[in-house]
Structure 1
């Protein structure tokens, strides 16, 4: 019940102030000449206010449930869209994961209700997907689905079969791709690059072949990360999240020195340029288009930019570097990823058997 406070004015007049405090409402008070009247007002008013408070709380709870229902994924597409908004955007590989999720959304799997989802649905999607892409792509997308399902079940409290991916037989990944670049192809690639309007493309190819750096690592390179004194690049943003140092060959040093001199001249710098992007204004999409045109003009078949990293790795082994030394340069955490290059050392092993 509310409270009643006795008050006496300066002239000796006695009054009684009745107050009602209910959560969610402002304090209501009335002043009466007698205690009985104040108490009667409390008895008549408080139940009504409490009833209104309960109704307001009920309406608020209903509104929260409605909003939660709107947000709660009901079909696979809902779950994947929420995953894109809340999880994918925070990842280093957000662009690639977004591409994979959008591909999954095009298939009937995306329209299945989560409570009806079962392993047969996953298998059917896999069969459909394998008609369009390689097994390795399907396995990457299975990993994305698995992570999204676990997140939904454990953190979003979404009711569906948590074991939907258990015992689903995954397709076997093909052997690791190793596409070598012959001297003739390298020459054709350079000539085609010199005819390309993009002024950086030949330098980027040179750096890829000399350092085995990934495309994103090269395009995102900044002068602050290049040490000419120590002939090295210190990468802080890498695919696996582990910073690493990349030693520079004389050829790589020459390429970077030329790039720095040209950039300093264009910017009107009197001293040495030591900050800012190495390839200013060059976006990933613009580079992709330029590289595709260059490869086509050079007449190379079945060649991708990542093949330059494979070629560079092969050349490191051919120079006599050990697997540990190569992994330090390339950033491969799993030695098995370098196993495809071990055939390059067979001739050296055979020589040791003499």
Structure 2
């Protein structure tokens, strides 16, 4: 059956649903048994809204309506994917609530559920902060045709305490690095070793493309110019400078895939001779089941992929690299950051990264590492093995 009334639709399962915008309000409901039932519900909702608008009163709006408007207005925001994920986690708890009924009490279920799922306070606060931001928009910026804001007053949303609830970074030692690389499957081992020699985020490693590569003949290395769409904050493009180890990793995977640098080999592929490109696929994220299995096998607890970046920063400081250079390597924002890189800058970064291309025999231990060792939870020491590219 086709559409009979604007806003009333037949669903694939034979039921009926309503999805209609009116005066900035989204009227949405599913599961009606007939067109007449859906149409009747819509008519009642429209009459109620018209009466409210006529008398200058705020219509009742749900958090889902506010979240929808927020997402539609911020489709190009750099963090929109993360915020979409956060809003999905909020919907079961406050999605259908009237905006006027959202407060610490009604958010308690969301907080409890996230904490029970093992989320850190910082992560839960991201959802609470986004809720607070949307409610502030409802109270201060968003208005309907009558001139009234969506919400008269935004409630005060209490954040969870961070002191004592933040995970401490866990940079790894050279010995722990060797054990981890051996425990990881080859494709993840290569990616981890590349990260430990460039300091880039795992999102960049997963999306690294051959079209971004620039060869520097004077140094005999590659530089990858990462477009700003893949840079946190999206302010400008950044470069990844390969030291000798990172370059060896790059050369070991050259030719595997036409587009992506790092891919994994599919074991079961039909008609491989006819479709060789199907044998390899890009890797969506490094923190997958294989990573978690390997870190457990290596005795590294809840080691995060991001800890590899912390390791790079620690090693550079250990070698006396200036903080300004470390900031350039790790893409930390600076007011002095130029929009265009020079060959001299590439040489400076390459020289710095070469200093951490191999074990220098220095301490290379964080206080967290010392604490783990004193508690007897450190990785068992064994004879050093030759560095491998996985």
Q: TM-score, normalised by structure 1?
A: 0.61
Q: Secondary structure at the match of 1:106?
A: helix
Name 1:182's counterpart in structure 2. 173
Alpha carbons of structure 1 residues 333 and 67: separation in structure 2 relative to 1, 3 Å = closer
Residue 163 (structure 1) shift: 2.8
Deviates more, 1:229-238 or 1:251-260: 229-238
Matching residue within 60, 75, 78 for 1:92: 78
Residue 317 (structure 1) shift: 1.4
Unaligned runs of 5+ in 1: 1-62, 268-274, 336-343, 347-354
Q: Does 1:191 align with 2:182?
A: yes
Matching residue within 2, 7, 27 for 1:70: 27
Note the aligned Cα RMSD (angstroms): 3.5
> Which structure is higher in helix share?
1
Q: Does 1:239 align with 2:232?
A: yes
Matching residue within 144, 161, 166 for 1:171: 161
Residue 331 (structure 1) shift: 1.2
Residue 209 (structure 1) shift: 0.5
Q: Does 1:160 align with 2:151?
A: yes
Higher relative contact order (CA 8 A, sep 6+): 2
Alpha carbons of structure 1 residues 319 and 102: separation in structure 2 relative to 1, 3 Å = same
1: CA distance, partners of 2:314 / 2:287:
24
Residue 150 (structure 1) shift: 3.6
Q: Is the 8 A contact 1:83 1:148 kept in 2?
A: yes
Name 1:303's counterpart in structure 2. 303
1: CA distance, partners of 2:105 / 2:287:
41
Matching residue within 253, 276, 279 for 2:259: 276
Q: Is the 8 A contact 1:228 1:253 kept in 2?
A: no
Q: Is the 8 A contact 2:135 2:154 kept in 1?
A: no
Residue 118 (structure 1) shift: 4.1
Name 1:257's counterpart in structure 2. 251
Name 1:116's counterpart in structure 2. 101
Residue 176 (structure 1) shift: 6.2
Q: TM-score, normalised by structure 2?
A: 0.56
Unaligned runs of 5+ in 2: 1-19, 29-58, 264-280, 336-363, 367-390
Aligned residues: 258
Name 1:312's counterpart in structure 2. 312
Residue 69 (structure 1) shift: 5.1
Bigger Rg, which one: 1
Alpha carbons of structure 1 residues 334 and 141: separation in structure 2 relative to 1, 3 Å = farther
Deviates more, 1:182-191 or 1:150-159: 150-159
Name 1:102's counterpart in structure 2. 88
Q: Secondary structure at the match of 1:70?
A: strand
